[in-house]
């Protein structure tokens, strides 16, 4: 422990034995994972160290595993310790960090469970200075579980390891004591849905545009992110809810959590899907269509499916796959007077999202999304499971799994 440790850390050291090394699963190339050992990180006044309790595997991690994303900000992602949907327990924290890291200004100490805001931003560019909560910083310093890569000390910045180094100026969110970890772990993805639905709701009321209570919604692509968007729409009062996906397993979970109607896109063609959606909505199409499949052609399907004056949210295409699609701008957008919103980030203020999870966890069985809970050893061999939509919905990594 460094000389800058606080009294809190001195008390902590009596109950937490600091290991000499940290085990972590590193991806060295597309489809190749291995167990690695890194030095236990050293903290200072402004940093902290977290014991990882649970981390979700995201669709971005799947794209990286498949080799569809190999660089970030001009640098190689590999070797890569993934995991940015992290819930962990503080084991060490510097005195300044204890006072400043919590987004809500709460004093933090060892033993606190926290969620980690993914991005550490510069605080100086135009977007940071103008407080665009959901917009990318021009000079992003770090994204947990994404960059810098694992060759850069102190190495352990992703949740696919036993411990993580938490750098200065990170935002942490203290988890309510009564909230189970397998509910809290959805806060990052739920934050995306929170911001997406908030944007869609903006124009609602005066001209019957935007999204509001009683309106219909179709979610195209029902992986975890899509399902959570459907849940968030229901929380905000959605009426008829339609879910499409290629996987009956995922559609089954969507049906359990929010969907009135499910359509398997591997068995029903795009024209018939659009026709069915219109039949269910007085012949006009859903009020809100959310593209969360992560395929560019599905965005065009969303534009075609939504009613005139309706709203489309594009939230699935987080990785540039190099695909282009034909788009008739006049027919698909302009002539329909559409509201189109893109959402690429989870924002930095997650307290309202944690409040939603806490309020709604008795109504919605969030852990029902979890089909696999991998230890680190299981992750080395089982990472590829994330590419099989008929086998998994949500995979959580539990580094200290017994």
Structural contact between residues 305 and 277, judged by C-beta atoms closer than 8 angstroms: yes
* Residue 90, SS3 per DSSP: strand
Tens of pLDDT along 183-197? 999 999 999 999 999
Range 270-276 average pLDDT: 98
The least confident of 17-21, 91-95, 110-114 is: 17-21
SS3 98: helix
Task: Indicate the pairing of strand 21-29 with strand 32-39.
Answer: antiparallel
CA dihedral 260, 246, 191, 195 (to 10 degrees): -70
> Which residues contact residue 60 at a Cβ distance below 8 angstroms, ignoring those fewer than 6 apart?
69, 84, 146, 318, 319
Beta-strand (E) ranges in 94-183?
113-116, 119-120, 142-143, 163-166, 172-174
Average model confidence (pLDDT) across the chain:
92
302-327 per-position pLDDT tens digit: 999 999 999 999 999 988 888 899 99
**For residue 83, what are the contacts with CB-CB under 8 A and spacing of at least 6?**
52, 55, 56, 57, 61, 144, 145, 158, 159, 160, 161, 397
Reported as a pLDDT band with limits 50, 70 and 90, residue 8 is very low
Closest CA to 211 of 220, 222, 198: 198
- Is residue 343's pLDDT more than 90? no
Give pTM, 2 decimals: 0.93
């Amino acid at each position: 422990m460094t000389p800058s440790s606080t009294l809190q850390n001195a008390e902590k050291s009596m109950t937490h034995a600091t290991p000499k090394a940290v085990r972590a699963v590193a991806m060295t190339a597309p489809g190749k994972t291995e167990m690695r050992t890194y030095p236990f990180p050293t903290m200072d006044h402004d940093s902290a160290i977290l014991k990882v309790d649970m981390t979700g595997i995201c669709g971005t991690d799947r794209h990286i595993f498949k080799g569809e994303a190999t660089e970030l900000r001009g640098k190689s992602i590999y070797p890569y310790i993934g995991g940015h949907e992290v819930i962990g327990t503080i084991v060490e924290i510097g005195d300044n960090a204890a006072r400043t890291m919590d987004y809500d200004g709460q004093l933090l100490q060892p033993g606190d469970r926290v969620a980690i805001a993914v991005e550490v931003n510069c605080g100086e560019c135009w977007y940071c200075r103008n407080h665009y909560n959901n917009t990318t910083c021009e000079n992003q310093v770090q994204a947990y579980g994404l960059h810098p890569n694992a060759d850069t000390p102190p190495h352990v910045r992703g949740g696919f390891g036993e411990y993580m180094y938490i750098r200065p100026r990170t935002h942490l969110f203290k988890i309510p004591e009564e909230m189970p970890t397998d509910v809290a772990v959805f806060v990052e993805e739920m934050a995306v849905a929170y911001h997406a639905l908030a944007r869609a709701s903006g124009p609602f009321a005066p001209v019957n545009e935007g999204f509001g209570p009683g309106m219909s919604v179709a979610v195209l692509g029902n992986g975890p992110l899509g399902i959570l968007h459907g849940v968030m729409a229901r929380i905000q009062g959605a009426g008829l809810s339609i879910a499409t996906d290629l996987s009956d397993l995922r559609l089954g979970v969507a049906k359990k959590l929010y969907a009135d109607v499910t359509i398997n896109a591997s068995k029903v063609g795009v024209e018939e899907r659009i026709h069915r959606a219109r039949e269910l909505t007085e012949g006009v199409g859903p009020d809100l269509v959310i593209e969360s499949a992560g395929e560019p052609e599905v965005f065009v399907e969303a534009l075609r499916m939504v009613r005139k004056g309706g709203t489309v949210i594009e939230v699935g295409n987080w990785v540039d796959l190099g695909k282009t699609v034909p788009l008739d701008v006049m027919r698909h957008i302009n002539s329909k007077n559409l509201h189109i919103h893109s959402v690429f980030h989870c924002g930095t203020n997650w307290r309202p999202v944690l409040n939603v999870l806490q309020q709604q966890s008795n109504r919605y069985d969030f852990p029902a999304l979890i089909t696999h809970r991998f230890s680190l050893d299981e992750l080395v061999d089982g990472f590829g499971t994330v590419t099989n939509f008929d086998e998994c919905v949500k995979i959580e990594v539990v580094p200290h799994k017994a």
